[in-house]
Amino acid sequence: MKQLDLVFLWHMHQPDYRDHGSTPATPKPGAGETAAAGTHEEFVLPWVYLHAIKDYSDMAAHLERHPQIRCVVNFTPVLLEQLEDYAQQFASGQFRDPLLRSLAAPDLGRLAVAERRLLLNTCFRNNHLTMLEPFPPYRRLHKIYLELAGEGEAALAYLSGAYFSDLVTWYHLAWTGEAERRKNPLIATLIGKGQGFNITDRHHLLNSIGELVTGLVPRWQALAARGQIELSTTPQTHPLAPLLLDFHAARESLPEAPLPAVAAYPGGRSRVAAQIADGRASHAARFGAPPAGLWPAEGAISTPFVQLLADAGCRWLASGEGVLRHSLAASGGGIPQPARAAYRPWHLPQVPGVSLFFRDERLSDLIGFDYAKWHGRDAASHLVAQLEAILDGAAADEQPVVSIILDGENAWEHYPYNGYYFFDDLYGLLASHPRIRTTTYSELLARPAMAATTPLPRLVAGSWVYGTLSTWIGDAQKNHAWDLLCAAKQSYDLVLASGRLAPEKSALATRQLAICESSDWFWWLGDYNPATAVACFERLFRHNLTRLYRLLQLEPPALLEQPIATGSAVAEDGTMRRTSIPG
């Protein structure tokens, strides 16, 4: 009986949210004694640990409940570093995340004005429909805030320590994963209490969060050890590698794309090679061996990049279906059933040894954008029916391989119960299906029948977004950001070549450069993104560049003091949703 092979690739990524070199303000007595005075790397945004307690834990729990399901899980090294950083904070009780400091503070009535403002600006930042509206006490806190905010800043000064205690507690309860709510009696108790949370409640919650964050990576290690998942990685800080190698890669899919003023990123080839090597070494140190495959940042690939990956020992990589469409069009056709081209592995004849898999855009986007509005069982049944139709339409000699690839964090807050019922139904249906089997890329490539992948005559550089690189280059603001990065890289090259930095200082500068090379800074620029997100990310990007200059013992250019851009209005519910698909 013919079967369809289904590969889920769940991509887990957050950029580096730490302000490297920062020193938190010394807390007032009784209001944050847990803070580590004088320590460095204050967290600017809390998304790493919030997604950890909600999404990374829930995604592990779904697989633990359904041991028959197999999939690929991609963790970026920069995310794992931050998860380990948080684990160390919980172990020491010295918090460098202001939200966790507030949760731990004995007396929230003694918060500084800036601390109060941060809590008010942060603790309603979620999907209100699924994470605020279902909880009347939390909804009441929001109503009080809106009423006072309408009266101006002075009115907000009337909010008490009890209000902030309830607020910071409810924010963390709202960000707790559904699976954790079902097994942890503390969460149920606190949700049932609803209000009047005291320091004991908050410390119990803090300890519970710490246990969840600290135990997260071991849970994924255990899933890999029993063969249920294949772990893969991304170059160290999630760089947009094809553009680091050649800005003109953007014109392979969009010939008229405007490019930065600087002709090329200086030393891009060596930087990409270093990012690949660091990412693979990081993965090996955490999981015992280098990964067999890789999800490139943003699914962005080009022929030179694939060659570097092959040189590093990668056996497979995945990208977007749009890249395949553009590549087939540029190759002059000749491929049978081009509409089904994504349902097979490919290879580049000039780069032997690396198999390419391509994301089914339609099915992945149904999960990322549409199924959140459906009943869980209906959505799961619909997806399985789509897979059955793909199998039924296969030729006699075709063995369909369907890749469903999206991130493992951003979509679920738009689902009721964080997608719990959708996954329970979907994994349950797939586990018992006689004609669909979930698998991994390495397992597929180990089969003799998969040894003969289809040659792709030409690869057109692109990403999972539209099959182009336009999300990261071509806009005036994005191009300006590239010019700023190129200028900093030129300074880096000159200073390191001079030999005037001690080895440890050079290492710090190189680490900082890698952070500046992350794709996330360029993603957010553009007036089509939420203004609050744009402002936050571009400010952090400029700060990272400024710190790089300081590590090089150079005066940062005055241009870095000027904002690159501002975006459009934030969504009505106050969310900072990046996307529901890979990042």
State pLDDT tens for residues 425-435. Answer: 999 999 999 99
- What is the pLDDT at residue 452? 67
Q: Which long-range contacts (CB under 8 A, 24 or more apart) does 442-450 make?
A: 442/230, 442/292, 442/293, 442/315, 442/316, 443/70, 443/230, 444/5, 444/7, 444/345, 444/401, 445/315, 445/316, 445/345, 445/355, 449/399, 450/345
Backbone region of residue 94 per phi and psi (left: phi > 0; alpha: psi in -120 to 50; beta: other values): beta
Q: How confident is the model at residue 554 (pLDDT cuts 50, 70, 90)?
A: very high
CA–CA gap between residue 568 and residue 562 (Å, rounded): 18
CA–CA gap between residue 518 and residue 231 (Å, rounded): 21
- What is the pLDDT at residue 31? 36
**Of 387, 326, 388, 337, nearest in space to 362 by CA:** 387
| pLDDT tens-digit map of 129-171 | 999 999 999 999 999 999 999 999 899 999 999 999 999 999 9
CA–CA gap between residue 160 and residue 157 (Å, rounded): 8
Of 338 and 387, which is predicted with more confidence? 387
CA–CA gap between residue 251 and residue 139 (Å, rounded): 49
CA–CA gap between residue 6 and residue 10 (Å, rounded): 13
Q: How confident is the model at residue 583 (pLDDT cuts 50, 70, 90)?
A: very low
- What is the pLDDT at residue 336? 52
Please report, rounded to a whole number, the percentage of residues in the chain having pLDDT higher than 90: 87
| pLDDT tens-digit map of 304-345 | 999 999 999 999 999 999 999 999 999 875 565 577 999 999
Residues 6+ apart with CB under 8 A from 29: none
Backbone region of residue 271 per phi and psi (left: phi > 0; alpha: psi in -120 to 50; beta: other values): alpha
Backbone region of residue 577 per phi and psi (left: phi > 0; alpha: psi in -120 to 50; beta: other values): beta
CA–CA gap between residue 414 and residue 138 (Å, rounded): 18
User: Is the pLDDT score of 451 beyond 90?
Assistant: no
| pLDDT tens-digit map of 512-539 | 999 999 999 999 998 777 888 888 899 9
Q: What is the pTM of this model?
A: 0.93
Alpha helices for 22-160 (secondary structure H): 47-51, 57-65, 77-92, 98-104, 113-122, 128-131, 136-149, 153-156
Q: Measured on CA atoms in the order 234, 471, 268, 319, is the torsion positive or negative?
A: positive
Q: Which residue has the tokens 């698909």?
A: 581
Environment class of 134 (CB within 10 Å of its CB; exposed 0-12, middle 13-18, buried 19+): middle
| pLDDT tens-digit map of 57-103 | 999 999 999 999 999 999 999 999 999 999 999 999 999 999 999 99
Number of Cβ within 10 Å of residue 155's Cβ equals 12
CA–CA gap between residue 390 and residue 395 (Å, rounded): 10
CA–CA gap between residue 382 and residue 519 (Å, rounded): 34
User: Is the pLDDT score of 267 beyond 80?
Assistant: yes
User: Is the pLDDT score of 28 beyond 50?
Assistant: no
**Angle between helix 503-516 and helix 268-287 axes, rounded to 10 deg:** 100
| pLDDT tens-digit map of 475-501 | 999 999 999 999 999 999 999 999 999
Torsions phi, psi for 238 (to 5 deg): 70, 50
Backbone region of residue 337 per phi and psi (left: phi > 0; alpha: psi in -120 to 50; beta: other values): left
| pLDDT tens-digit map of 396-450 | 888 999 999 999 999 999 999 999 999 999 999 999 999 999 999 999 999 987 6
Residues β-bridged to residue 455: 347
**Of 277, 228, 308, 185, nearest in space to 64 by CA:** 228
Structure tokens at 380: 């799961």
Largest CA distance in the chain: 74
The DSSP result for 270-332, as a single string, is HHHHHHHHHHHHHHHHHHSS--SEE--GGG-B-HHHHHHHHHHT--EEEEEHHHHHHHHHHTT
Helix, strand, coil % in the chain, rounded to nearest 5: 55, 10, 35
**Of 330, 295, 394, nearest in space to 10 by CA:** 295
